[in-house]
Amino acid sequence: QGQLVQSGAEVKKPGASVRVSCKASGYSFSSYGITWVRQAPGQGLEWMGWIISYNGDTKYAQKFQGRVTMTTDTSTRTAYMELRSLRSDDTAVYFCARVVGRNDDAFDIWGQGTMVAVSS
Amino acid sequence: QSALTQPASVSGSPGQSITISCTGTSSDVGGYNYVSWYQQHPGKAPKLMIYDVSNRPSGVSNRFSGSKSGNTASLTISGLQAEDEADYYCSSYTRSTTLIVFGTGTKVAVL
């Protein structure tokens, strides 16, 4: 069936960095990619990028290029998302999800979300 | 890359059918059969309901169906139930450097 469990809520100051983890269980971690999606309070979903678990290849949304790094550790079945130079408008719930679909275009297993608050 | 356009809200009575539209361009919805739909209850993670335009993941009720015509994709919920009250988001693969774009979201109310 599969499950993704994310790390806990974070509070950061503007300019800082945050790293969110996403631990997979119940499926072959290396056989699927992991994507990251965020949702600002009261707002819609925003795709940030994805990583191919077995080789670490990444694709980031243009908006986050240069500020985000996604990695995986296959030995611990864990994916990580680091966002740098945080601003107040980065305050959001960050979700990881497993990538499926004919073109790696759908996300079928989601983590519970990690709230990241950016405030001075 | 702009978000796909969805109606802000759609409502229906129990047992009725409703349809949510998702309008994009030929660079996303119209150009590929890679449209997905997600259901999100308040405070919860999204749930995949439809992928690749019209495919249902295992475990998703057959009351949910997807289709596409031109630059507009649609999600139909038949036999509306109270538990269907949630936010719904479409997404599409896109030709732009941002590979996946989400819709603006639709709040479904069961009257």
Residue B93: pLDDT band by 50, 70, 90 thresholds?
very high
Phi-psi region of A64 (alpha: psi -120 to 50; beta: other; left: phi over 0): alpha
| DSSP code of residue B44 | S
Whether the pLDDT of residue B6 is over 90: the answer is yes
Tokens 């694709």 locate to A59
Q: Please, what's the b/e burial string for A85-104 (b: 16 or more CB within 10 A of its CB; e: otherwise)?
A: ebeeebbbbbbbbbbbbeeb
Contact A44 B89 (CB under 8 A): yes
Mean pLDDT of B82-91: 98
Tokens coding B57: 């993941």
State the pLDDT at residue A91.
Answer: 98
Distance from CA of A34 to the nearest CA of B (A): 13
CB neighbourhood size of B57 (10 A): 16
CB neighbourhood size of A53 (10 A): 23
Contact A47 B99 (CB under 8 A): yes
State the pLDDT at residue B37.
Answer: 98
As a dihedral over the C-alpha atoms of residue A101, residue A103, residue A105, residue A106, rounded to 10 degrees, the angle is: 0
Amino acid identity, position B102: F
Whether the pLDDT of residue B96 is over 90: the answer is no
The per-residue pLDDT for range A38-60, each reduced to its tens digit, is 999 999 999 999 999 888 899 99
Q: Please report, in angstroms and rounded to a whole number, the separation of the first and last CA atoms in chain A.
A: 41
Contact A47 B91 (CB under 8 A): yes
As a dihedral over the C-alpha atoms of residue B98, residue A81, residue A18, residue B44, rounded to 10 degrees, the angle is: 80
Question: Closest chain A residue to B50 measured between Cα atoms?
Answer: A106
DSSP A27-39: S-GGGSEEEEEEE
Q: What are residue B83's phi and psi, to 5 degrees?
A: -70, -10
Q: Which residues of B touch A61 (CB under 8 A)?
A: 97-100
Arithmetic mean of pLDDT over chain B: 96
- For chain A, 120 residues long, give each residue's pLDDT as a single digit of tens: 899 999 999 999 999 999 999 999 999 999 999 999 999 999 999 999 999 988 889 999 999 999 999 999 999 999 999 999 999 999 999 999 999 988 889 999 999 999 999 999
